[in-house]
Structure 1
C-alpha cells in the first residue's frame, strides 16, 4: 500500500485553501512560500491521492432542512445499510461509530416534507436497521467551513483575506436553472474555473462569473476544502450529544463554537439540545476536552458520545476505509 504524508508546506497550502478555496495559485504563492506552478502541481498530487479536495453544498442562504439521524443496526447489516443509504442524495455524510449508535447520518433535505418522507418511508425500507432517532436541526452555529488546520500565522491569514476579498453579489438575480447548473458543476469540482462553468452551463463567461459571485456572496452555496482526517494532525473524530437547560442553550452553543476542536455545532429539536462533532489529536484528548467543558460550561451535560470509526461518505463524496476521497 502506498504511503501518504502531509508535510508542513502541504498543511500551509491546505490552510490557505480553507480560507479561500477558489484562490488562484499565484495569489497563494507568497503566503504559502512556493511558486504557483509548484502549488498547482502539489495540489494535483494531493487531489489525485484523495488526501484533499474542494466540494460544495447548500448554504444558509438557500432553503433546506437539516437533520442528524442516529441509527442502530444488526451487526451484519451495518455495511449493507451503509451502502444502501450512501446512494441517497439527501444523505450528506455517514459516520460509522462506536457507542450508543452504529451510524450517524447528516441529512440535507429541500423541505420538512422531504425529511418526513426520508424518515418515515425511506429508512424503514433499509434492511437491518433496528432503531432510529432523528434530530431535526433548529440552528446551525458552526460547521467545518470555520475549522482550520492552524498552519498559517495570523498575519499571513490577514494578508490572504485582504488580498482576496469575499465575492460580492451582482445586481441581477440568478435564475434557478443557472444556479442549479453551477451548483452541480461545483459539487464535482469546487475549484472549477469560470471558463469551465461557462462552457459546461452553456452561458457566457460574464454571466457565469456574475452567477458564481452572487451564489457565493449570498451563501446559497458554500465551497470548502476537505482533508482526509486520518492524514491530518487531528485523526480522531467524536460526536457529542449534549442536554442544556432551555434558558442556556444559545449561550452554551455560542461558547462551543469558539473551541478549536469543533467542526460542527447545532441546536436541535430532539432528545438532545445540542449536537457537536470535534476532531482531536489523540483519543486521550476526549478526557481533556470533557474536563474543560465541565469547568467552563457546567450547564452542559454530556449525555453521550460516539467515536467515529469510519466515514464512508462525507459531504456528498465517497471515501475509502482510511478516509481518502474515491474517484
Structure 2
C-alpha cells in the first residue's frame, strides 16, 4: 500500500531540472521554474526525505574502458529468490537489482573497479551464494543510452533551454589519473547525497570548498563518475520495466543502439559480450507495448533477433539506493566501483530524514 503522496507536477518539473543540472544552485533552477530559490530548496528537501527523488553517482565511461561494468542474469532455486535478493541488496558491488519473471529471477547491474574484479565477482562469488542455480554474465562494452540521459519530460522546451548549463559550468574532457584518497572520499559523500554543499563536502573530506569543486569537475569531465537525479517512478506514473536481449549483426550494432536511444521509453541501451550483444531496458506504459517494441525493432532492422524478453517484477535497488515497493529510496549502500578495498564490504546508510 502506498503510504506517501505521489509526486506532484511541480515535483516532476524539479526532478526534470535536476536531471539536466544535478548540482545547479537553487537560484539557477528557481527562475525557469517560476518560483523562489527557497521554495525549490524546501520542495527538494521534502522529496528527498520522503525517498521520492535523489541525486546519486553512476558509472562513467572509465569503468567501461577498464571492463568493470557488467550485467548478470541469475536463476535461483525454487523458493530462494527473495532471500537471495535481500542478500544481494547489501552488496556494494551490486549497483542495481530487479526481481524478474521467467527463467531469469534476478537481474543485476554490477560495478567493479576493473575486469579482474568483475571476473572474480561473477565467476567466483556469485555462483557460491546459497540459492544460486545459474549465473549468466555479460560485460558492458559501450553505452548508447543510460540513466543519465533519461528524462521525466515535465518541462517545456523553453524551460529546458533556460536550464542548459552556462559556459562557465561546462567542462571539457579531462585526462585520466589514478584516483587518490580525496577523490574516493568525495565520491563516497556524493554517493550518499549528490547535492551535498561544497562547504559540507570540504569539512567531511578534509579539504577546501574550491578544491572539492575542482575535484568534482574533474571526476565528471574525465568520465570517472556521472551524476544523475533519480525518482520513485511508480509514485509518478504506472509503468512496466522490460529488458530485451538482442542479437544484432556487428555492422548494425551502432545503428540499432542509436535507434533504441531515440525512443522515449528507453532507459538503457548497451552493447554487451555474449550470445546476445545488445541489452536494452525500456520503461513502458502497459503490457501491450512489450510486443509492440519487439515488432518496431524487427520491422526497422529485419536481421535483428529478439533473444529474450525479461519482465521486471520490482526494482529493489538503483545506483546504490535500496527501494521499497513504490520505488522510494529507503537506504543507501555505498558502491565499491571506485575503491577496490570496498568490494566485499557492506554498509547500509539510512536516507536523510528517515529512521535507521
Unpaired segments ≥5 residues, structure 1: none
TM-superposed CA distance for 1:322, in Å, is 2.2
Structure 1 residues 23-172: aligned runs within 5 Å: 23-61=24-62, 63-163=66-166, 166-168=169-171
Local SS of the residue matching 1:76: coil
TM-superposed CA distance for 1:17, in Å, is 0.6
CA distance in 1, matches of 2:67, 2:169: 23
CA distance in 2, matches of 1:160, 1:244: 37
The match for 1:267 is 271
Structure 1 residues 301-316: aligned runs within 5 Å: 301-316=305-320
Bigger shift: 288-297 or 236-245?
288-297
Superimposed CA distance per residue, residues 161-181 of structure 1 (whole angstroms, 9 cap, x where no aligned partner)? 054764437999786111111
Cα distance change, pair 164–17 in 1 and its aligned pair in 2 (3 A): farther
The match for 1:249 is 253
CA distance in 2, matches of 1:173, 1:22: 24
Superimposed CA distance per residue, residues 199-247 of structure 1 (whole angstroms, 9 cap, x where no aligned partner)? 1111122211211222122221111001112113352111111111222
Superimposed CA distance per residue, residues 39-88 of structure 1 (whole angstroms, 9 cap, x where no aligned partner)? 11111111111111110033114545111111111231111111222222
Bigger shift: 78-87 or 158-167?
158-167
Matched-pair contact (CA < 8 Å) for 2:21–2:165: no
Aligned length, in residue pairs: 327
CA distance in 1, matches of 2:3, 2:291: 34
Q: Among 187, 195, 198, which residue is 1:194 paired with?
A: 198
Does residue 281 (structure 1) correspond to residue 285 (structure 2)? The answer is yes
Superimposed CA distance per residue, residues 129-160 of structure 1 (whole angstroms, 9 cap, x where no aligned partner)? 11111111121221010011111112211111
- Scaled by the length of structure 1, the TM-score of the pair is 0.94
Superimposed CA distance per residue, residues 5-27 of structure 1 (whole angstroms, 9 cap, x where no aligned partner)? 12211111110010001111111
CA distance in 1, matches of 2:247, 2:156: 36
Local SS of the residue matching 1:279: strand
TM-superposed CA distance for 1:100, in Å, is 2.6
Local SS of the residue matching 1:43: helix
CA distance in 1, matches of 2:179, 2:286: 47
CA distance in 2, matches of 1:147, 1:211: 25
Cα distance change, pair 100–175 in 1 and its aligned pair in 2 (3 A): closer
CA distance in 2, matches of 1:195, 1:174: 25
Matched-pair contact (CA < 8 Å) for 1:57–1:221: yes
Bigger shift: 115-124 or 272-281?
115-124
The match for 1:294 is 298
CA distance in 1, matches of 2:176, 2:57: 23
The match for 1:203 is 207
CA distance in 2, matches of 1:236, 1:229: 10
Superimposed CA distance per residue, residues 107-137 of structure 1 (whole angstroms, 9 cap, x where no aligned partner)? 1111211112112221122111111111111
TM-superposed CA distance for 1:315, in Å, is 0.7
